[in-house]
């Protein structure tokens, strides 16, 4: 997998990702890149230097910022790893389930918000959903190195598993009670729906409750990553 951009590469190095090599643009003068090169060499990582056209050839979106790292494919964890993570920290569970997020930019933004707001882990589906790729890693600003992410065949089966572990499952959708009036404390898993159809009917039916984000504008829906950020913040606020 290719990781590009200063923030993403920095977090990959600091997070201990398996990096095969790093390519840096020749003749760089940027202090940030200088520090990344020094850090990479401290960690005995291979650093090569190349002309700009070489980096552009490897770059996924053309915004490499003068540095690219080649890593092994992203390693997903198990749902049980996420459940145990909160238990080991001796704190209530804070989990996010993504039901059909297909845009890798949205997935990356949600992962970044989850890392900033203390989420224990994210659960995504294998089908009709974005996986963790180069675009997701870059959009997350390297947050993929710090957030546990599980990939499951069936989101609904996973919801049942979480409920059996006494974790309250809350769907974020348009027809729920206002999120600020809901109790989001304790062991909780938030469901965020996809960009198109939102949360699937059966998935929403399995939730213990449904909450909504009040809106007063003429547009009746938000971008999935924006809605996720608002819901995560309210959940974090209530948890203190």
Query: 165 and 61, same structural domain?
Result: no
Query: 88 and 44, same structural domain?
Result: no
Give the pLDDT of residue 113.
97
- What range does the domain containing 16 cover? 2-71
Query: 155 and 39, same structural domain?
Result: no
Query: 63 and 29, same structural domain?
Result: yes
Query: 233 and 130, same structural domain?
Result: yes
Query: 27 and 8, same structural domain?
Result: yes
CA–CA gap between residue 144 and residue 11 (Å, rounded): 9
Query: 18 and 123, same structural domain?
Result: no
Per-chain mean pLDDT for the chain: 92
- At 210-239, the pLDDT tens digits run 999 998 877 777 889 999 999 999 999 998
Query: 59 and 25, same structural domain?
Result: yes
Among residues 31, 51, 71, the one where a domain terminates is 71
106: CATH: 3.40.1280.10
Question: In a 3-state reduction of DSSP, which class is residue 172?
Answer: strand
Query: 114 and 67, same structural domain?
Result: no
- Cα dist from 11 to 46, 112, 115, 140, 143, whole Å: 17, 12, 12, 10, 7
Give the pLDDT of residue 216.
84
Give the pLDDT of residue 215.
86
Token pair belonging to 219: 């547009």
CA–CA gap between residue 33 and residue 5 (Å, rounded): 10
Query: 167 and 85, same structural domain?
Result: yes
Query: 135 and 96, same structural domain?
Result: yes
CA–CA gap between residue 118 and residue 96 (Å, rounded): 11
Query: 111 and 200, same structural domain?
Result: yes
45: CATH: 3.30.1330.30
Give the pLDDT of residue 136.
93
Q: Which of 100, 109, 114 is nearest to 135 (CA)?
A: 109
Instruction: Please state the domain count of the chain.
Output: 2
- At 67-96, the pLDDT tens digits run 999 998 889 999 999 999 888 888 899 999
Among residues 48, 71, 94, the one where a domain terminates is 71
CA–CA gap between residue 97 and residue 224 (Å, rounded): 13
The stretch 50-79 carries a mean pLDDT of 91
């Amino acid at each position: 997998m290719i990781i590009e951009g200063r923030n993403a590469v920095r977090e990959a190095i600091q997070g201990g990702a398996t990096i095969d090599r790093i390519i840096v643009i020749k003749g760089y003068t940027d202090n940030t890149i200088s520090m990344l090169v020094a850090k990479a060499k401290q960690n005995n990582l291979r650093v090569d230097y190349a002309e700009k056209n070489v980096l552009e050839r490897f770059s996924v979106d053309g915004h490499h910022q003068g540095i690219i790292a080649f890593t092994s494919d992203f390693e997903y964890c198990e749902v049980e790893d996420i459940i145990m993570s909160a238990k080991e920290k001796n704190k209530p569970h804070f989990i996010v389930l993504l039901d059909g997020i297909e845009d890798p930019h949205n997935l990356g933004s949600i992962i970044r918000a989850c890392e900033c707001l203390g989420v224990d882990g994210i659960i995504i589906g294998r089908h009709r959903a974005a996986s963790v790729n180069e675009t997701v890693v870059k959009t997350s600003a390297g947050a993929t190195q710090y957030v546990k992410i599980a990939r499951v065949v069936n989101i609904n089966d996973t919801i049942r598993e979480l409920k059996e572990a006494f974790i309250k499952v809350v769907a974020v959708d348009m027809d729920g009670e206002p999120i600020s009036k809901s109790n989001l404390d304790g062991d909780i898993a938030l469901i965020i729906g996809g960009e198109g159809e939102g949360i699937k009917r059966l998935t929403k039916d399995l939730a213990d409750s449904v909450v909504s984000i009040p809106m007063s504008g003429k547009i009746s829906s938000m971008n999935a990553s924006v809605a996720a950020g608002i819901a995560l913040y309210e959940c974090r606020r209530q948890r203190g």
